[in-house]
Homo-oligomer: A and B are copies of this chain.
Amino acid sequence: MKQTLIILLVLIFGYGITQAQENDRIPAKGFAVFSADDTFHPHEFTRHAIGANDILIETMYAGICHSDLHAAWDEHKAHGISGIYPMIPGHEIAGRVVKVGKNVTKFKVGDYAGVGCMVNSCGHCTFCDMDKEQFCENGTTFTYNSIDRYHENEPAMGGYSNNMVVNERFAIRIPETADMKRVAPLLCAGVTIWSPIHFSKVGKGDKVGVAGFGGLGHMAVQYLVNLGADVTVFDITEEKRADAARMGASRYVNVNNEAEMKGLNNAFDFIISTIPAQYNPLMYARMLKYGKGEMAIVGLPETATINVADLAMGGAANRKVYGSLIGGIKETQEMMDYFVAHDIYPEVEVISANAAEIDKAYRNVQDGKVKFRYVIDMNTLK
């Protein structure tokens, strides 16, 4: 009798939760910009209700990616992406599951979970079928600055906030052993460099270059060193030379130092360019080995171009150049499991959840003054 009562209570209570999950919008608060030239402000809003396949994550840490600056400042117009305001950026999100929809199987309450650059896709197109949801033919919903066609076209709100509601398909399992302070940037920076390194089949003994030694670059260096590659780092400052050596790079080239730039052509099996600002991609293409080298573009400056005739005539013939955009959910999970198991993390500077702190962090990212990734401690949100 007592048992029956308990079961009954659980059923009623459980049903109540399910109802609440499916109908009630979730209150949320975070930090938004209200226009391209705005600074950050505290912002309260609601998220869509927790659907049957969704989980609610309480955000613990949110990384600040250089892409956040491009988005907040509306710098990708040339690529047909216009800022949707108010905008809460953030696509490197690590937290703890606090509620699960009734059909959720991948997570239980209390698990660590992460969200990267996407929160939904159609699930049945050519690209979703090949686990490349970022190219969904029916429209990926990105984590912010994106219309969520799966939720009545409301604008998606990112990770500089106290919570996330996301379909479990787009949530990444974070191992319990993970260092939560440092894990968030893996969700974007980690997979962004993982994906092309796998695509180009980089391996032990390969001579590789990492152009741009910031958030993405220092993740690439660590992973490439872990793979046994011989890593050369390229940047424009002396201030990071010791960091490169500490992370295992065999060589650091300050590209403003002419002497260091000699003898580098036709030398690399693979170069990953993480440079977010204007530069000359051809200079790096020339450094690739003839007939073998490949260059992956993952930094997204608006203005850097390659003249196609230069690819043939400019000392870069038979070197392949391609772009790579984050990574699919499957490879994000593979990256997460591997990186946590091998203790590969970003070096982070943790800031408190405060608008002025975020503004300051943005300025430093823009000026290349961060070593190497800012992470907002969302536990400090008031």
Contacts and interface: CB of A to CB of B under 8 A. Distances in A.
Interface of A: 76, 78-79, 81, 126-127, 130, 132, 135, 199, 266, 273, 281, 290-291, 294, 297-298, 300-325
Given A130-B290, A290-B135, A322 B313 contact: no
7 contacts: A76-B313, A273-B308, A304-B309, A309-B323, A311-B323, A313-B323, A317-B325
A301 B323 CA distance: 22
Contacts of A135: 290, 315, 317
B302 A305 contact: no
Contact of A312 (B81, B303, B318, B323): B323
A271 to B, nearest CB: 12
Contact of A322 (B132, B300, B311): B311
A291 B301 CA distance: 23
Contact of A318 (B281, B313, B315, B324): B324
A318 B126 contact: no
Given A135-B317, A297-B312, 17 more contacts: A135-B315, A298-B312, A301-B309, A302-B309, A304-B309, A305-B307, A306-B306, A306-B308, A311-B323, A312-B324, A313-B323, A317-B322, A317-B324, A318-B322, A319-B322, A320-B321, A320-B322
Q: Which 4 A-B pairs have the closest CB atoms?
A: A311-B323, A312-B323, A320-B320, A305-B305
Contacts of A305: 305-308
A133 to B, nearest CB: 13
A232 to B, nearest CB: 19
B291 A313 contact: no
A104 to B, nearest CB: 30
A318 B220 CA distance: 18
B290 A132 contact: yes
A125 to B, nearest CB: 11
A260 to B, nearest CB: 20
Contacts of A76: 313
Nearest to A196: B318
Contacts of A81: 313
A145 to B, nearest CB: 13
A17 to B, nearest CB: 40
Given A305-B307, A320-B322, A313 B79 contact: yes
Contacts of A303: 307
A297 B308 contact: yes
A126 B266 contact: yes
B301 A308 contact: yes
A225 to B, nearest CB: 24
Contacts of A281: 308
B290 A310 contact: no
Contacts of A301: 308-309
A320 B322 CA distance: 5
